[in-house]
């Protein structure tokens, strides 16, 4: 494994924190879920808050036996690194000048820092700005992209969560999300302008705006505390297909990005790696390239389902053009439908907790 950043950076960078049922099951199956099961926070519902009321989407009723688990992505990374090193894995951090060669042949190889690594296959799990996708010749990939006219300002705070489950709040001031990472650490997001400068958001302003968007139901009081991390995340959707070329296979953000509203980024990456693992095991056990040849097609079914769900959640809950009265009424109408129709609520629930592996095949 070649990683541009340091191990310390990889293990401390704050990212996603909502694991689908399938992601949790995969980590447990891979024998890296012991700490996850011990420290993760299982959630069996979320709240949609709008119009001065909260509406719970009850996973235990709508999708029995399936839930989400709140467990920080950096904690997953720590567990994976520790397990790989314990097995004698060769993990290289602070690696630069990585280049991919001969990926359309049977003998691809990598060069980095004056070294050469000959490979059977290369998994490009190096994110949107990595070297893997740009190594595919021009004209091979078709890219689909959408940018949203807002961003998320996210904070991590040393304060006990003010609710037991995630709260997705739609207000006239913009969207807000109440989440958590542990019983003592909370995670919050605010919809802000796409070009927002984080320097314009001192802690007092952040808490005031979170209170204005979340304290909209009787009796709810938002607890505040020390903010230990904050930043602005752009909102965009991106898919490159196919997700493979020759002996190079793209996975995660190297191939696709979703807005964080649907909590799908990390989970899609795990689904990609699970599919690639299955295909590689099949190849080495049988000598057949059948599953490797079908890797992109198999992954893209789940990718596009998640793309649609993430787009839907984003357009349902965020404030767009303030002059678009028609769009505003459509949002409220659909929120009323989701919170009053069991069928509509089940659609949200089954996509949020993650469709079972095999269901899209």
Task: Say what the pLDDT of residue 13 is.
Answer: 86
Q: What homologous superfamily is domain 7-46+54-143+237-353 in, according to CATH?
A: FAD/NAD(P)-binding domain (3.50.50.60)
Active-site entry in 71, 189, 295, 352: 352
| 137 is an active site residue | no
Active-site entry in 50, 148, 168, 245: 168
How many Cβ atoms from other residues are within 10 Å of residue 37's Cβ?
13
| 282 is an active site residue | no
| 308 is an active site residue | no
Q: Do domains 7-46+54-143+237-353 and 146-235 have the same CATH topology?
A: no
Q: Are 106 and 247 in contact (CB under 8 A)?
A: yes
| 50 is an active site residue | no
Task: Say what the pLDDT of residue 170 is.
Answer: 97
Distance between CA atoms of residues 112 and 1, nearest Å = 12
Place of tokens 């991390």: 229
Q: What homologous superfamily is domain 146-235 in, according to CATH?
A: D-Amino Acid Oxidase, subunit A, domain 2 (3.30.9.10)
Dihedral Cα 69, 351, 298, 128, nearest 10 deg: -70
Distance between CA atoms of residues 108 and 110, nearest Å = 7
Distance between CA atoms of residues 141 and 129, nearest Å = 16
What residues contact 109, with CB distance under 8 A and at least 6 apart? Answer: 101, 102, 116, 117, 118, 119
Q: Are 122 and 100 in contact (CB under 8 A)?
A: yes
Task: Say what the pLDDT of residue 321 is.
Answer: 80
Query: pLDDT digit of tens for each residue in the chain (361 aa)?
Result: 999 999 999 998 888 889 999 999 999 999 999 999 999 999 999 999 999 999 999 999 999 999 999 999 999 999 999 999 999 999 999 999 999 999 999 999 999 999 999 999 999 999 999 999 999 999 999 999 999 999 999 999 999 999 999 999 999 999 999 999 999 999 999 999 999 999 999 999 999 999 999 999 999 999 999 999 999 999 999 999 999 999 999 999 999 999 999 999 999 999 999 999 999 999 999 999 999 999 999 999 999 999 999 999 999 999 988 778 998 999 999 999 999 999 999 999 999 999 999 876 6
Active-site entry in 189, 260, 295, 318: 260
Range 211-247 burial, b when 16+ CB lie within 10 A, else e: eebbebeeeeebebeebeebebeebebbbbbbbbbbb
| 264 is an active site residue | yes
Task: Say what the pLDDT of residue 360 is.
Answer: 63
Distance between CA atoms of residues 78 and 124, nearest Å = 20
Range 251-262 burial, b when 16+ CB lie within 10 A, else e: bbbbbbbbbbbb
Task: Say what the pLDDT of residue 45 is.
Answer: 97
Task: Say what the pLDDT of residue 361 is.
Answer: 61
Active-site entry in 189, 264, 295, 318: 264
Please report, for the chain, the start and end positions of each structural domain, with discontinuous segments joined by +: 7-46+54-143+237-353, 146-235
Alpha helices in 54-120 (DSSP H): 59-62, 73-86
């Amino acid at each position: 494994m070649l990683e541009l950043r340091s191990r310390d950076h990889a293990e401390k960078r704050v990212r996603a924190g909502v694991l689908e049922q399938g992601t949790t099951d995969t980590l447990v199956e891979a024998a890296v879920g012991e700490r996850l099961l011990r420290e993760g926070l299982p959630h069996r519902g979320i709240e949609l808050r709008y119009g001065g009321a909260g509406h719970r989407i009850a996973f235990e009723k709508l999708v029995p036996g399936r839930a989400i688990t709140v467990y920080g992505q950096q904690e997953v990374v720590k567990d994976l690194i520790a397990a790989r090193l314990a097995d004698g894995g060769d993990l290289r951090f602070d690696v630069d000048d990585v280049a991919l060669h001969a990926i359309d042949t049977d003998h691809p190889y990598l060069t980095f820092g004056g070294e050469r690594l000959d490979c059977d296959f290369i998994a490009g799990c190096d994110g949107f700005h990595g070297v893997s996708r740009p190594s595919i010749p021009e004209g091979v990939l078709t890219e689909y992209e959408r940018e949203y006219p807002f961003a998320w300002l996210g904070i991590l705070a040393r304060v006990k969560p003010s609710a037991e489950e995630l709260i997705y709040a739609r207000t006239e001031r913009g969207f807000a999300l109440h989440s958590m990472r542990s019983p003592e650490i909370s995670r919050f997001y605010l919809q802000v302008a796409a070009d927002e400068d984080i320097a314009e958001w001192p802690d007092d302003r952040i808490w005031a705006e979170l209170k204005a968007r979340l304290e909209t139901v009787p009796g709810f009081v938002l607890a505040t505390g020390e903010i230990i991390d904050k930043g602005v995340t752009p909102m965009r959707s991106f898919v490159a297909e196919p997700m493979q070329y020759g002996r190079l296979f793209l996975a995660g953000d190297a191939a696709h990005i979703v807005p964080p509203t649907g909590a799908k980024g990390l989970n899609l990456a795990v689904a990609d790696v699970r599919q690639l693992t299955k295909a590689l095991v099949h190849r080495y056990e049988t000598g057949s390239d059948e599953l490797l040849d079908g890797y992109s097609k198999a992954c893209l079914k789940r990718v596009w389902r998640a793309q649609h769900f993430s787009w839907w959640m984003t357009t349902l809950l965020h404030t767009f053009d303030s002059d678009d009265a028609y769009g505003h009424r459509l949002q409220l109408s659909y929120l009323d439908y989701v919170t009053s129709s069991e069928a509509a609520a089940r659609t949200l629930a089954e996509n949020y907790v993650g469709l079972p592996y095999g269901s899209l095949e």
